[in-house]
């Protein structure tokens, strides 16, 4: 199934019935101040769904307030990270489709019918893709998200949108094939989207308007986010299509080595004829090593995404 935008910005809609059962998974950490309101809004949109709040060892009464609001609560004995909470929710969900939402109230439940409607239409995953203007509270974050989208598009050779969006629905039996790839801390949205695309599953996007956080961003947080984005990019490359990155690097090194050899032979030391300088030799050998390493990594990556029915 081809990837496409399956809706424009969704409008509010009355609760609907779907040809599958739904579990809404909400990972939460110290969200006591707003979790009850989030659960209530989701319940209004999905009266018959299972709503599960995964309390990642909060230091406040997040779990108690979520339970009082009518959610099923699963609690981690120790803080494991947002991705680990998502994996716990997926594993323990009873619904055929899992809808992921954040606990901070910035994901508007009015988009739920459009997202679940995409799954009902046959997609294996549907992502609530925020408009570019609402993908971050700073220009740096928006540029970072754009860079991730561009890299993801290049790696899987299919256009992707808003890889960092945590507002998404997926068929549980499909995501269970790749749950071991999802990291415990961050980048589970990126990993899950690219994993399904790499394996040939259908992924669709619904355009939504995200809620932007106010306030600035300290230099320390900017640096931390920069490191995080860098690690996510490295993870994307190593997991999904290493050769599409290693091959251009190897080719570039080979061209530089050839240029160094020709320059030395024609200008610097013409008397030595076909003598290969050390710089060119290192570039030639390095390009071969990087290419072979990328080829091996590509074969290993391909094994991760073989469909069980193939």
What number is the average pLDDT over the span 103-121?
A: 92
Please tell me whether residue 35 adopts helix, strand or coil conformation. Answer: helix
What is the span of the domain harbouring residue 281? 243-304
Which of 4-18, 100-114, 156-170 has the weakest average pLDDT?
4-18
Q: How far apart are CA 207 and CA 170, in angstroms?
A: 16
Q: Residue 40: pLDDT band by 50, 70, 90 thresholds?
A: very high
pLDDT of residue 212: 56
Which residues in 215-246 are b (16+ Cβ under 10 Å) and which e? Answer: eebeeeeeeebeeebeebbebbbebbbbbbbb
What number is the average pLDDT over the span 126-145?
A: 79
Q: Residue 221: pLDDT band by 50, 70, 90 thresholds?
A: low
Among residues 213, 239, 265, which one ends one of the domains? Answer: 239
Please check whether residue 60 lies inside any domain of the structure.
yes
* 40: Cβ contacts below 8 Å, ≥ 6 apart: 69, 70
Among residues 239, 266, 295, which one ends one of the domains? Answer: 239
Q: How far apart are CA 10 and CA 19, in angstroms?
A: 20
pLDDT of residue 151: 87
Using alpha carbons only, give the angle 119, 303, 174 rounded to the nearest 5 degrees.
20
Which of 12-16, 181-185, 231-235 has the weakest average pLDDT?
12-16
Please tell me whether residue 168 adopts helix, strand or coil conformation. Answer: strand
Q: How far apart are CA 80 and CA 246, in angstroms?
A: 33
pLDDT of residue 100: 97
Number of residues in the chain: 310
Same domain, yes or no, for 259 and 201?
no
H/E element holding 197? Answer: helix 188-198
Q: How far apart are CA 140 and CA 180, in angstroms?
A: 31
Share of the chain above pLDDT 90, in %: 55
Same domain, yes or no, for 41 and 60?
yes
More confident residue, 262 or 11: 262
pLDDT at 118 over 50: yes
Among residues 239, 271, 296, which one ends one of the domains? Answer: 239
Same domain, yes or no, for 19 and 104?
yes
Same domain, yes or no, for 97 and 172?
yes
* 275: Cβ contacts below 8 Å, ≥ 6 apart: 264, 265, 269
Tens digits of residue pLDDT in 48-98:
999 999 999 999 999 999 999 999 999 999 999 999 999 999 999 999 999
**Could you tell me which residues are beta bridge partners of residue 170?**
98, 125
Q: How far apart are CA 186 and CA 116, in angstroms?
A: 24
Structure tokens at 192: 């899950």
How is the beta sheet containing 168-171 ordered, strand by strand? Answer: 4-7, 203-208, 125-130, 168-171, 97-100, 22-28, 50-55, 72-75
- The position carrying tokens 């690690």 is 231
CATH number at residue 232: 3.90.550.10
Number of domains in the chain: 2
Q: For the purposes of burial, counting CB atoms within 10 Å of the CB of 179, is it exposed (0-12), middle (13-18) or buried (19 or more)?
A: middle
Q: Are strands 4-7 and 203-208 parallel, antiparallel or unpaired?
A: parallel
Please check whether residue 309 lies inside any domain of the structure.
no
pLDDT of residue 1: 41
Q: How far apart are CA 167 and CA 27, in angstroms?
A: 12
Same domain, yes or no, for 217 and 289?
no
What number is the average pLDDT over the span 91-119?
A: 93
What number is the average pLDDT over the span 24-51?
A: 94
Q: Residue 16: pLDDT band by 50, 70, 90 thresholds?
A: confident
Q: Tell me the pLDDT of the chain averaged across its residues.
A: 85
Alpha helices in 199-277 (DSSP H): 219-240, 243-263
Same domain, yes or no, for 212 and 228?
yes
Please tell me whether residue 129 adopts helix, strand or coil conformation. Answer: strand
Q: How far apart are CA 4 and CA 231, in angstroms?
A: 28
Same domain, yes or no, for 253 and 157?
no
Q: Residue 115: pLDDT band by 50, 70, 90 thresholds?
A: very high
pTM: 0.81
């Amino acid at each position: 199934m081809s990837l496409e935008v399956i809706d424009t910005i969704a409008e509010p809609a009355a609760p609907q019935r779907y040809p599958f059962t739904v579990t809404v998974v909400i990972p939460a950490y110290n969200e006591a101040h707003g979790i009850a309101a989030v659960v209530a809004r989701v319940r209004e949109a999905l009266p018959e769904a299972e709503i599960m709040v995964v309390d990642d060892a909060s230091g406040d009464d997040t779990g108690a307030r979520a339970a009082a609001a009518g959610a099923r609560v699963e609690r981690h004995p120790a803080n494991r990270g947002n991705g680990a909470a998502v994996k716990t929710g997926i594993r323990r969900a009873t619904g055929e489709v899992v809808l992921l939402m954040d606990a901070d109230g910035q994901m508007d439940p009015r988009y739920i019918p459009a997202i679940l409607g995409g799954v009902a239409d046959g997609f294996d995953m549907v992502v609530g893709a925020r408009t570019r203007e609402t993908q971050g509270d700073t220009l740096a974050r928006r540029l970072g998200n754009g860079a991730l989208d561009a890299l993801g598009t290049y790696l899987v050779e299919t256009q992707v949108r808003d890889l960092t969006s945590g507002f998404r629905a997926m068929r549980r039996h499909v995501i269970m094939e790749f749950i071991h790839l999802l990291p415990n801390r961050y980048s589970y949205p990126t990993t899950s989207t690219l994993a399904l695309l790499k394996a040939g599953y259908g992924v669709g996007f619904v355009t939504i308007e995200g809620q932007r956080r106010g306030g600035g961003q300290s230099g320390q947080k900017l640096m931390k986010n920069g490191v995080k984005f860098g690690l996510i990019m490295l993870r994307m490359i190593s997991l999904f299509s290493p050769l599409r990155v290693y091959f251009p690097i190897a080719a570039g090194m080979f061209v530089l080595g050839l240029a160094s050899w020709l320059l030395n032979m024609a200008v610097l030391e013409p008397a030595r004829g076909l003598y290969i300088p050390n710089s060119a030799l290192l570039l030639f050998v390095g390009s071969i090593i990087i290419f072979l390493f990328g080829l091996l990594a590509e074969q290993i990556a391909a094994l991760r995404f073989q469909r069980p029915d193939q």
